[in-house]
Structure 1
Amino acid sequence: MATITAAMVKELRDKTGAGMMDCKQALNETNGDMEAAVDWLRKKGLSKAAKKAGRVAAEGLIGVVVEGTKGAMVEVNSETDFVARNDQFQGLVKMVAQVALKTGSDVEAIKAAKVGSATVENAIADAIATIGENMSLRRAAVLSVNAGVVASYVHSAVFDGLGKIGVIVALESSGKADELASLGRQIAMHIAAANPQAIDAAGLDPQVVSREKDILADKYRQQGKPENVIEKIVESGLKTYYKEVCLLEQAFIHDSGKSVAQAIKEAEGKVGGPVKIAGFVRYALGEGIEKQESDFAAEVAAASGQKAAG
């Protein structure tokens, strides 16, 4: 019996687009023969996704599910926006979000999780084969609190809990759950609109803050300002920057006359106790994915063996 290595499984997966466990089984069944394993997968219909695997999947849906003190959010990508309106795809995204709620935020663990007799990875491969587009589970996030609520908001929703921008926010409090949920939804809507980078300055990436400092300092150096003055201007500039990117310091979208921190403080009377934001996650569909720009005229010309008109 041939020894099946992780590198062999990866190579077969790259060739076929089939799931890791299916690739391992194929290699075991064919005694490590790579080409025979490819054929084995094809006969089983498990490499149907291979042709689609090279295409950029930057559309799709954000899926959100919340149950009391726990919430999960996933991004499942497809190639076209049209697929986001497909009932099967919507059902797939909902199912993946439910699995994430139980399994956690590790994408590989979610894909390996069983739903009935099949894995999530199998379910995605089946959807690719049926719908005819490349799809992928890109990322997942889970938040929970011991006491309080996890609230959510989905922008541009195509169905309950499915849309283009998703937010989950965890509020820690021993106060009234209904008032907390209402406050949490308002804050989640704010996060969707204002896109904060962290809860407060302490949560910002130190490299990002350092870069911001350097940009500000260089700007005033070029204006000929002395170093001791630059230091004060930079500190002032950072405070302005924090108001732009830190959740608690941002102007609250529901009442721009107060900060989010002030809005929370005011709400504590209704809630009946202190409220702390324990964490938040905001996903915008396709952010950071390199989308291929399509030149339709060039594609048609290439198909007909001609050059596109300039």
Structure 2
Amino acid sequence: MLNKISSNSIKELRNKTGAGMTDCKKALQASNGNVETAIESLRKKGLASADKKASRLAAEGLVESYIHSGSRIGVLLEINCETDFVSRQPAFRELAKNIAMQIAASQSVKYVALSDIPDNLITYEKNIELGKEDLIDKKDEMKEKIAQGRLDKRLKELSLMDQIFIRDSQITVEELIKQHISLWGENIKIRRFEKFLLGEGINSKPKSFVEEVSTMVSS
């Protein structure tokens, strides 16, 4: 079987996945030369170790931009990986573009992950929930339980990693990142982003871009 796996097939699989030459060769041998099956095999093989890779230093990567049609909303995103080999892959740039588009479509998102939300904001949001009229007459234990549930939902609205991926409603952005960690065998981090809305802060009413971006994504 070894002689039936061409170097071009191994190179193609390496370019698509970023996996090592040996792993690519073994995956192709196991899949009888089927590249797509080999990609799935490599993804499954690395999925279990994705969380372990999350602590590794990711200092390469790129800065991606996304300007929505009409030039009324823009996003700048820094996404990191471990090697420049992966950062140069077209699939890595596509991932960055998709995440930038996700940010544009997610109006409430302000932080990369739940762990980035400041404690003072969490306290502020919880106090708002505890002070709502429909909880006034409830017992303290029930009030706390309901307020916490609402708070958890609100915080997830602010977290990019907790958003449902706009191109696949079956996964979150966090799961999307983990899929690519397992695919390439490298840690991938969304480090930071900035969103710009035309006229924001000039006492103008911001428009909703969610439906507009989602329509463009599905077309």
Alpha-carbon shift at residue 225 of structure 1 (Å): 1.1
Distance 1:262 1:291 in 2: 36
Q: Does 1:168 find its partner at 2:76?
A: yes
Q: Does 1:187 find its partner at 2:99?
A: yes
Q: Does 1:154 find its partner at 2:67?
A: yes
After TM superposition, the structure 1 stretch with the greater mean CA deviation from structure 2, 250-259 or 207-216, is 207-216
Match of 2:63, SS state, is strand
Match of 2:203, SS state, is coil
Distance 1:190 1:172 in 2: 17
Distance 1:174 1:199 in 2: 19
The one of 238, 258, 280 equivalent to 2:193 is 280
What's the counterpart of residue 226 of structure 1?
Answer: 139
Match of 2:195, SS state, is strand
Distance 1:270 1:201 in 2: 25
- Check the 8 A contact 1:242/1:249 in 2, yes or no: no
Match of 2:131, SS state, is helix
Alpha-carbon shift at residue 187 of structure 1 (Å): 0.2
Change (3 A) 1:264 1:156: same
Distance 1:291 1:153 in 2: 22
- Check the 8 A contact 1:154/1:166 in 2, yes or no: yes
Q: Does 1:244 find its partner at 2:152?
A: no
Alpha-carbon shift at residue 260 of structure 1 (Å): 0.7
Q: Which has the higher contact order (CA 8 A, sep 6+)?
A: 2
| Counterpart AA for 1:185 | K
Distance 2:148 2:156 in 1: 13
Change (3 A) 1:269 1:222: closer
Structure 2 spans left out of the alignment, 5+ residues: 1-57, 206-219
After superposition, where does 1:81-120 map in structure 2 within 5 Å? none
The one of 156, 166, 178 equivalent to 1:265 is 178
Alpha-carbon shift at residue 213 of structure 1 (Å): 0.8
**Deviation digits for residues 194-228 of structure 1 (CA, Å, limit 9, x no counterpart):** 03111122322444322321121122664511112
Distance 2:73 2:134 in 1: 40
Distance 1:233 1:290 in 2: 35
- Check the 8 A contact 1:149/1:171 in 2, yes or no: yes
Match of 2:200, SS state, is coil
After superposition, where does 1:1-310 map in structure 2 within 5 Å? 146-157=59-70, 163-175=71-83, 176-177=86-87, 178=89, 179-195=91-107, 196-219=109-132, 222-291=135-204
Q: Whose strand proportion is higher, 1 or 2? A: 1
Change (3 A) 1:222 1:228: closer
Q: CA RMSD in A?
A: 2.2
Count how many residue pairs are aligned between Structure 1 and Structure 2.
143
**Deviation digits for residues 67-101 of structure 1 (CA, Å, limit 9, x no counterpart):** xxxxxxxxxxxxxxxxxxxxxxxxxxxxxxxxxxx
Structure 1 spans left out of the alignment, 5+ residues: 1-144, 158-162, 293-310
Q: Whose helix proportion is higher, 1 or 2? A: 2
Distance 1:216 1:264 in 2: 32
**Deviation digits for residues 204-262 of structure 1 (CA, Å, limit 9, x no counterpart):** 24443223211211226645111122222222212111221110111111112211101
- Check the 8 A contact 1:151/1:168 in 2, yes or no: yes
Match of 1:263, SS state, is helix
Distance 1:149 1:210 in 2: 34
